Amino acid sequence: MLTTLSVQLLFLFNPVNSVLQQLYCTIADSCNCDFKPNIKGLEWDLYRNLYGQHLVQDIVSEEVAKFLQNKNPDRPLVLSFNGPSGTGKTLVSSMLGNHLYGSAMSSPYVHQFVPTLHFPLPDRVKQYREDLKSWVQGNLTECARSVFFFDEMEKMPPGVVDVLEPFLGPSHVVFRTNYRKAIYVFIGTTGEEVITRVALENRQAGRDREEIKLHDLQEALAQTVHNSSTSGFFNSSIIQQRLITRFVPFLPLCRHHVERCVRSQLCSQGLCSRDDVVEAVGGAMTYTPFQGHYFSSTGCKAVTAKINLFL
Ligand SMILES: Nc1ncnc2c1ncn2[C@@H]1O[C@H](COP(=O)(O)OP(=O)(O)O)[C@@H](O)[C@H]1O
Ligand SMILES: [Mg+2]
């Protein structure tokens, strides 16, 4: 005779039930995927802990809030983070992970792809495309609210991410997958010249950094990413069909931003009062262009190593 518990267990592990569960996942908001977005927390984190990136603060807060408020989005949220090294792209990715799942990259529903690790060989594109497609599809079946980060896009062999096209648009049907609730973030340095040029012209015209507007950059970034053979999106139909919801430009950082990075790092070590180290590290970084020395060439990236030199 079956006890109540074993009946329950039988029900839980019944393959028919598993199919039902998957079916439910295709329709429901989210399955068991522990999705607990904290939009206010994300906005606060971006406002407090990301320096010199007003466009990023505005676009990321706005797009994520808009996307999550819509119970039935007709397409996933697709962001492209572009900008020079050390300006906060990876930092914002972990903020996103943290405020969507509470555990950043360690959540089983936050997936990170790094080309040098996952797609290192250009002659294996066909295989990578198949792997990536079934990986994404499998994960969306598990959790409609999956988040996918593609870092270092400039090292992605051309053609790989194109396989995601059916998942990114509004009109395709991906069988048994509620693909419209996912978030994709493509991260790379492609377009940094365009962004830096706009920032430089703005600076030379004596205008505030905050006066740089998104529409100055949006179309130029789309074109650069599409036309650059090392963007991971070379001639990509994802760009042609405008499947990227927003390009998110990360501006080059100035000396006072770098000094904020230094101070914040020092404070986390209980050394808030070391103005001498803040000044010394700020002075030890390389700034470009030669005339003006406006922007740190490594953003805040080398800060930790430099602090250790002056402590
Ligand atoms: N705009 C910023 N505001 C605050 N910290 C920053 C900023 N940009 C970079 N950092 C810090 O500098 C280091 C490198 O930043 P990261 O996000 O990895 O840069 P990348 O844009 O190359 O991904 C990290 O410790 C990060 O916290
Ligand atoms: Mg990075």
Domain locations along the chain: 39-249, 253-310
Q: Which residue type sits at 273?
A: S
Q: How far is the CA of 303 from the centre of ligand 2 (A)?
A: 14
Ligand 1: does its nearest atom lie under 6 Å from the Cβ of 169?
Answer: no
Ligand 1: does its nearest atom lie under 6 Å from the Cβ of 89?
Answer: yes
Mean pLDDT of 30-47: 86
Band (pLDDT 50/70/90 cuts) for residue 175 is low
Stronger pLDDT, 168 or 24, i.e. the higher one: 168
Token pair belonging to 293: 């020395």
Stronger pLDDT, 200 or 28, i.e. the higher one: 200
Q: Is the pLDDT of residue 24 over 80?
A: no
Could you give the CA distance from residue 79 to residue 60 in angstroms, rounded to a whole number? 9
Q: How far is the CA of 265 from the centre of ligand 1 (A)?
A: 11
Nearest CA to ligand 1 atom 1: 51
Q: What is the pLDDT of residue 3?
A: 33
For Cα atoms 26, 29, 35, give the angle at the middle one, nearest 5 degrees: 115
Q: What is the pLDDT of residue 4?
A: 34
Percent of the chain surpassing pLDDT 70: 87
Could you give the CA distance from residue 115 to residue 151 in angstroms, rounded to a whole number? 7
CATH superfamily entry for domain 39-249:
P-loop containing nucleotide triphosphate hydrolases (3.40.50.300)
Ligand 1: does its nearest atom lie under 6 Å from the Cβ of 263?
Answer: no
Q: Is the pLDDT of residue 10 over 50?
A: no
Q: Is the pLDDT of residue 1 over 60?
A: no
Could you give the CA distance from residue 257 to residue 210 in angstroms, rounded to a whole number? 14
- pLDDT digits over 87-143, tens only? 999 999 999 999 999 876 788 899 999 999 999 999 999 999 999 999 998 898 888
Stronger pLDDT, 134 or 23, i.e. the higher one: 134
Mean pLDDT of 76-95: 97
Stronger pLDDT, 176 or 57, i.e. the higher one: 57
Q: What is the pLDDT of residue 177?
A: 59
Neighbours of 155 (CB within 10 A): 16
- Measured CA to CA in angstroms, residue 78 lies from 53, 164, 284 at distances of 19, 11, 38
For Cα atoms 99, 103, 107, give the angle at the middle one, nearest 5 degrees: 115
Ligand 1: does its nearest atom lie under 6 Å from the Cβ of 301?
Answer: yes
Ligand 1: does its nearest atom lie under 6 Å from the Cβ of 115?
Answer: no
Overall pTM > 0.75: yes
Q: What is the pLDDT of residue 36?
A: 82
Q: What is the pLDDT of residue 14?
A: 42
Q: Which residues surround ligand 2, an ion (CB under 5 A)?
A: 89-90
Ligand 1: does its nearest atom lie under 6 Å from the Cβ of 81?
Answer: no
- Helices assigned H by DSSP within 144-254: 165-168, 192-204, 218-227, 237-240
Residue 219: name the closest of 75, 82, 53 by CA.
Answer: 82
Token pair belonging to 235: 């001639």
Band (pLDDT 50/70/90 cuts) for residue 71 is confident
Return the minimum-mean-pLDDT range out of 142-151, 168-177, 198-207, 293-302: 168-177
Mean pLDDT of 171-192: 82
Ligand 1: does its nearest atom lie under 6 Å from the Cβ of 53?
Answer: yes
Could you give the CA distance from residue 281 to residue 238 in angstroms, rounded to a whole number? 42
Ligand 1: does its nearest atom lie under 6 Å from the Cβ of 265?
Answer: no
Band (pLDDT 50/70/90 cuts) for residue 28 is low
Residue 133: name the closest of 84, 168, 91, 89 by CA.
Answer: 168
Give phi and psi for 242, each to the nearest 5. 55, 50
Q: How far is the CA of 125 from the centre of ligand 1 (A)?
A: 31
Ligand 1 nearest-atom number relative to CA 260: 4
